[in-house]
Structure 1
Amino acid sequence: MTDPGEERTPEPQDDDATAPIPPSPPHGQPSSSFQGHMRAARSEFDHQVELARAGFEETNARIRERTGRDLILAILIGLAVGVIVFVSIVFANWPFVVLVTGVGLLGVFELSRALQSAGRRVDVVPQLIGGLLVLLSSYFFGGWQHWVALFVSVCFVIVWRLIAQMAARDGRVYLDVVGDALTAGFVQIYVPFLASMALVLLRQPDGTWWVLAFLIVVIAVDTGAYVTGLTLGRHPMAPRVSPKKTWEGFAGAVVAAVAAGILLAWLMLGLPWWTGIVFGLALLLTATVGDLGESMIKRDLGIKDMSSWLPGHGGVLDRLDSILPSAVAALALYYLLSPLAV
């Protein structure tokens, strides 16, 4: 035992035990090495984002140079319009009637202003009144009343133009006056009457699904032609009318139209699958004719787009060019093919 009064000799201590302990990072804060890894990862991520953005902007610039359209705006506006149309037609008929009426009147206004800029005398207000009469009569009455409304509206705008010309006394020559009168009637037939065919189709049994189906096929035609023509297009289809349309794009439209037609006939319309081929090809024809027809009108007027109301797309009529004649074809196909539905 050790005497309590005896002094103790301190025992030697290990050097490691006396070495200072490095301070630990405060609670909740990463170590410096972890921060370094995070900064490196963030820097690499920012670099990849910049590369992706630069690549997308370069691709978008090439597309804009080739087609004259802004790809981002075109996609966003196209999706928004598609959602609006789908919601308006599926859940109730009256929103779609309001939509078609509003779009049809915008098309009348747009075409009238474009014709005015080319030197034609077009009276906008009478055109809007006549267009409203044609569009509303097609849904609320249909049948012979619709044809009467069309006749009345055409006569109304022509007579208005002739009276306005007599009141003007500006020395306009005979051929120009006749041209103005014919142009007035053409506006009524081209926009409100063709658009009203979609409302006539809507009134039929299962008409909602037929309207939706023909719109999907027309969109498939436009999309197939655009994508294929943009990536593979080499041979112009109608260079004097629309130099950017190619036969390769038309081939893509054929594939898209037939595929969409078969799927819609089978899954939505309850028709035999082979009727989808007829459905798709007929709408392909009318959509292509409508697209080229509007291109001829714009070339004759010396303009690129009917307006700039829809950025990335042009004007309202630039989106309706394929749909307007296709509405007539869709109504005819309804009468022809709907008896085959199971």
Structure 2
Amino acid sequence: MTDDPGPVKPPHRERGATRAEFRAQVQSTKADIERQVQATRAQLDATNERIEARTGRNLVLATLIGLGLGGLMLVSLIFIKSLFMILAVVVVAFTALELAEALRRAGRNVPRIPVIVSAVSVVPAAFYWDAGGQWLALMLGIAFISVWRLVMLAVPSHRVPARVVLGDIGGGFLIQVYVVFLASFAVLLVAQDDGEWWTLAFLLLVISADTAAYAAGLSFGKHRMVPSISPKKTWEGFAGAALACIVVGIVLALFMLGQPWWVGALFGVVILVAATFGDLAESLIKRDLGIKDMSSWLPGHGGFLDRLDSILPSAAAAYALYLIFA
């Protein structure tokens, strides 16, 4: 007898079935990956929404912008000091204009052109002519803003009582002293011997203080520091910032500044106090103006002053410590 093997499938049908199974498997795997990506994205969006609801900031966007600005600062500090000065001119000019616009929305007729001209004059004067140039440019800038506002009285639409004019001049004075003058200390410090390392150190301390305060406040914050000025600032956040500043200050003093450990601890405490004061001062200004952010020019951060509030007084404090210890 002869065994009957039965019907034999054509080879091309087997290959077709194999390809169909492969395509089905690929489609199934692709669908699984897409579901996982969508689930992960939904989780990230939900987490970001919770953080934004708690802090009022878009964390992802704020982080990306912060890293970009920080990278520019780092490159300019380490490699080309004059590039840092140019970058500072741009940032200070935008910050001064931002505060002038905020004051104008609040009813103060602060002239913008002399504010910007004065801002871009003080920073290079501090860089090239040290403290003497810094003070001279500051005084000339304040005088320039004051004279400009007085000349504006020749235009009928700008004629107001003397009390209002003095308030407008006072707004220009605030911008020059609070923004331009304090910011120029960073450039003044960079221009000194090894000043770029002290500048980098105080910037790292400010970043450490902000980051630690943010993380500790978000995780453990219960007791408000000054709810009438800054409702989201807590003592737990301040404690986290203090610990971070002391540790980072000691590390920077030993390995970057060539100073004893106690100088680093003192450096950290001083910057902690200065940064906290700067943060609260800007919050008080915004509260008086009735605004949440100075502007929306930096998505996720608010405005330039919202990022520089802790840096401004810290720059002056760092320069003073440099003069004492370096």
Q: Provide the TM-score with structure 1 as the length reference.
A: 0.89
Residue 205 of structure 1 aligns with an amino acid whose one-letter code is D
Change (3 A) 1:98 1:301: same
Q: CA RMSD in A?
A: 2.1
Supply the distance in 2 between the matched residues of 1:22 and 1:259 (Cα, whole angstroms): 75
Give the match for residue 200 of structure 1: 188
1:78-227 alignment to 2 at 5 Å?
Answer: 78-165=66-153, 167-168=155-156, 172-227=160-215
Supply the distance in 2 between the matched residues of 1:171 and 1:34 (Cα, whole angstroms): 82
Q: Secondary structure at the match of 1:205?
A: coil
Could you tell me how far 1:173 is from its partner in structure 2?
2.9
Q: Secondary structure at the match of 2:225?
A: strand
Q: Secondary structure at the match of 1:268?
A: helix
Q: How many residues align?
A: 325
Q: Decide whether the 8 Å contact of 2:225 with 2:233 is kept in 1.
A: yes
Which is helix-richer, 1 or 2? 2
How big is each residue's C-alpha offset from its partner over 1:84-116, in whole Å with a ceiling of 9 and x where there is no partner? Answer: 111122111111110001100111110111100
Structure of higher CA gyration radius: 1
Give the match for residue 295 of structure 1: 283
Supply the distance in 2 between the matched residues of 1:255 and 1:82 (Cα, whole angstroms): 22
Supply the distance in 1 between the matched residues of 2:236 and 2:258 (Cα, whole angstroms): 32
Supply the distance in 1 between the matched residues of 2:170 and 2:63 (Cα, whole angstroms): 37
1:16-55 alignment to 2 at 5 Å?
Answer: 16=5, 20=8, 23=11, 26=15, 35-55=23-43
How high is the sequence identity, in percent, across the aligned residues? 46
Residue 131 of structure 1 aligns with an amino acid whose one-letter code is A
How big is each residue's C-alpha offset from its partner over 1:273-315, in whole Å with a ceiling of 9 and x where there is no partner? Answer: 2221111111011001000100100111111111100000001
Could you tell me how far 1:77 is from its partner in structure 2?
0.8
Q: Decide whether the 8 Å contact of 2:126 with 2:132 is kept in 1.
A: no
1:240-279 alignment to 2 at 5 Å?
Answer: 240-279=228-267
Give the match for residue 283 of structure 1: 271
Give the match for residue 67 of structure 1: 55
Alignment pair present for 1:314 and 2:302: yes
Q: Secondary structure at the match of 1:81?
A: helix
For structure 2, the 5+ residue unaligned runs are none
Q: Decide whether the 8 Å contact of 2:153 with 2:159 is kept in 1.
A: no
Supply the distance in 2 between the matched residues of 1:290 and 1:276 (Cα, whole angstroms): 21
1:225-240 alignment to 2 at 5 Å?
Answer: 225-240=213-228
Q: Provide the TM-score with structure 2 as the length reference.
A: 0.93
**Aligned counterpart for 2:315 among listed residues 310, 327, 341:** 327
Q: Decide whether the 8 Å contact of 1:287 with 1:321 is kept in 2.
A: yes
Q: Secondary structure at the match of 1:243?
A: strand
Deviating more after overlay: 109-118 vs 224-233: 224-233
Supply the distance in 1 between the matched residues of 2:249 and 2:111 (Cα, whole angstroms): 40
For structure 1, the 5+ residue unaligned runs are 1-11
Could you tell me how far 1:63 is from its partner in structure 2?
1.5
Q: Decide whether the 8 Å contact of 1:155 with 1:185 is kept in 2.
A: no
Q: Decide whether the 8 Å contact of 1:108 with 1:127 is kept in 2.
A: yes
How big is each residue's C-alpha offset from its partner over 1:171-225, in whole Å with a ceiling of 9 and x where there is no partner? Answer: 6233222222222212111111111101110111111111111111111111111
Q: Decide whether the 8 Å contact of 2:99 with 2:175 is kept in 1.
A: yes
